[in-house]
Amino acid sequence: MNIRRFNIVCRGTRIPAGITVAVTADLHFRDSGTAVEQLRELRPDIICAPGDIMQETDQFSIHECFNEKGFTFLTDCRKIAPVYYSIGNHERGMTDKNRAILADAGITLLDNTWVHNGSLTIGGLTSGYTSGIPKQRNTPPPDVSFVRKFAMQDGFRILLCHHPEYWPAYIRETDIELTLSGHAHGGQWQIPFTNQGIFAPGQHLFPKYTSGVYKNRLAVSRGMANTVCIPRFFNPREILLLKLVAE
């Protein structure tokens, strides 16, 4: 698993300088390989999983055979650092039974909710796909009222938001300091020596937000698994490690 490191410059009075955040997106119930061992060596302060770790948790158990790898990954991560997990389009939602399993394992599920951790306020914006994954050209809107409420909270605000295309539409004009996303899979093929992907769900051809950090406020992971038959090109699977630093 590739590790990419970025500094996030924190401005103003709410500066949690020195905190490191690992972003682990889009495992898609695959084997995590060496990711847990790598995270153990990285020793992040928190681990954030912005969606698509498991599949159809709105109706199937976390303990179903196809979800067990994703759940095991999250529980192994919890032995390293606090884990915050938000709902992507492949989870589609979460049953009450699955919520209880996650809570018992010490994993914080953020389903249009937020929690406080010291100087951090960490929220999760749930995917607009709440029942199935229909063949829509445009991504359904999320709960925009949650975004507004979260933006009014105290602390340095980190928002887990599976879809990077939500950021320009609903988040960029707020005061939310940092948004963590996945979903784009790095554009599947990256044009060499650029940061330009070829195609991403929700953004289509030549997507704008697929990989890395944008405007010091949006961090997009290329994801931890290859999920389609078309191989990745100049686009390795990855974990992002973000360090919050003072200006």
Distance CA 203, CA 237 (A): 20
Token output for 15: 């500066």
Cα–Cα distances (Å) from 138 to 54, 133, 141, 222, in that order, read 22, 12, 9, 20
How far is the C-alpha of 166 from the C-alpha of 150, rounded, in Å? 15
23 SS3 class? strand
In 144-216, which ranges are E strands? 156-161, 178-181, 199-200, 204-205, 212-214
What's the confidence (pLDDT) of residue 134? 58
Evaluate whether 211 touches 197 at the Cβ level (below 8 Å). Answer: yes
Phi, psi of 20 (to 5 degrees): -110, 140
Q: What sign for the dihedral angle of Cα 224, 178, 76, 66?
A: negative
Which pair of tokens denotes residue 227?
């999920």
Rounded to the nearest 5 percent, the helix, strand and coil shares of the chain are 20, 30, 55
Per-residue confidence (pLDDT) for residue 12, from 0 to 100: 62
Tell how strand 199-200 and strand 178-181 pair up: unpaired
Name the pairing type of β-strands 108-110 and 199-200: unpaired
Q: What per-residue confidence (pLDDT) applies to 133?
A: 63
Average pLDDT per block of 10 residues along the chain, 247 residues long = 95 75 95 94 98 95 95 98 96 96 98 95 93 68 97 95 98 97 92 88 92 97 84 90 91
**The predicted structure's pLDDT at residue 136:** 61
- Neighbour count for residue 7 (Cβ, 10 Å): 11
Looking from the CA of 94 toward its CB, the CA atoms found within 13 Å total 24
First to last CA, the chain: 30
Angle between helices 35-42 and 68-78 (to 10 degrees): 20
Residue 104 is predicted with a pLDDT of 98
pLDDT recorded at residue 114: 98
Neighbours of 26 (CB within 10 A): 28
DSSP 171: I
- Domains of the chain (ranges; CATH) run 2-246 (3.60.21)
Predicted local distance difference test score (pLDDT) of residue 230: 75
